[in-house]
Structures are given as C-alpha cells and as structure tokens.
Amino acid sequence: MTAQAPDPLRVVIADDQASVREGLVLLLGGLPSIEVVGAAADGEQAIAEVAEHHPDAILLDLNMPVLDGIGATRRLVAEHPSVAIVVLTTYVDDANVLEALKAGARSYMTKDADRADIARALQAAAAGLTVFDPRVHDALLAATHPAALSPASPAADALPLARPDGLTEREVEILVLIARGLTNPEIARDLCLSNHTVKSHINRIFTKTRSRDRAAAIGYAHRHHMV
C-alpha cells in the first residue's frame, strides 16, 4: 500500500512589490509541497489574509506600506501565534532583520534566494526550526558587534562574563554558538558533545530565557550582548 503524501504547507505571501509578490506566488505555488493560500501588498492585508486562511506559515517582506514587516510580525505573534513567520529582506545588511527576530520571526531569507531554499525555510519554520541566510547573519553580526567576527579580537572566542537568568557556562557557550548561526550537529562537533546532549542544553536555554525558538534565543543573546 502506497503511503499518502503529506499535505502541502499552506502559505501566505506578503510583499508590496507586485512583480516580486506575483513571482513568489508563481514559483512557490508550483512546488508540490507548498500551497499558496493568500497574497498581500502590505502588513494589514497580510494579517487579514492570515485571519481568513489560517496558513501554516507566512513569507513576510520587511519593507511594506501601511504596516511594515516588524509591526506585522508583532501583530501576528500576538494574534496568530501558531503561524510561522519567515521574513524576507532585499539587502544583506538590513538591520531591521534583528528587530523582526526580536518581534518573533523564526527565519529570514534574502529575495535572491532560490525557491527551494525559501520553501525549506518555510517548512523548517512551520516545524519550529530556524533557517538563516548566512550572508544576512554575518552582515548583522558585523554591523552590530564587529568584534564578534574578527579573528584577531579576544572577544571572538571569549565568553561573556555575565550569565543572566541562571544560565550555566555551558549554556551560555551554546547560546553564543546558536547566535553565530551554528546548527545542532555543528555545535555538537565543535564542543565534542552528543546531539542529544546539545538538544537537552538548548531546551534548558529556551526555558531559562523564555524563548520559544532559536530566533527568540538569538534575540536574547543580542540583547544581553553575548555576541
């Protein structure tokens, strides 16, 4: 008996540029794993589309009229917390990405990412995971904390002295690596730990920092100057 294919991920796309929005609808809608259920030209329309269609995820442009991506992210987290938010940015040095992550977005991609990468980011976000465009991540770190990416700086490898909210030294170490964009297997490899141990540490980090996912934990790390 052939196994039934999983239901496609239901997605809303929000972008104020008609050509970009329509292109994303066409590209992502052509994938069997994605069903585009709505499209919006601004943040208010995006919230209305989510309220009407109850999607699994939304692909949200940061720079929109009426209500921008950050404001829309705050509203969506408050009003539709089950919807995974992937923000979309044009430029790799868009500092608004960090604000969107603090507001509750789970992932971010640049507009020149291919449809397979965007689809994977949406699928991962809907599963509670986080996907970062590495170029955006590095640019944000360089813009907000230049020493974090400088091999010559002692701060590049040193752990912060402060350990807020009862975090242990190991938990801070792992949180810093999360904020630098490392995956669980990469953290396990670098620290010579098992994947299970890393996952246990991350669960405790989420609890202590009151973070619902990696994006929120990264926002926490930035607010406490860990990176």
Read off the pLDDT band of 16 (50, 70, 90): very high
What's the rounded Cα separation, in Å, for the pair 217 and 227?
12
Q: Distance between CA atoms of 211 and 221, rounded to whole angstroms?
A: 11
Is residue 148 scored above 60 in pLDDT?
A: no
**Domain at 9-137, CATH class:** alpha beta
As a whole number of angstroms, the distance between CA 133 and CA 118 comes to: 10
Region for residue 10 given its phi and psi (left: phi exceeds 0; alpha: psi -120 to 50; beta: otherwise)? beta
Indicate the CATH number for domain 159-222: 1.10.10.10
Give the total residue count for the chain.
Answer: 227
| Cα separation, 35 vs 160, whole angstroms | 44
Domain positions in the chain? 9-137, 159-222
Structure tokens at 5: 């294919």
Contact 110, 88 (CB under 8 A): yes
What percentage of the chain carries pLDDT values higher than 90? 33
Indicate the pLDDT class of residue 102, thresholds 50, 70 and 90.
Answer: confident
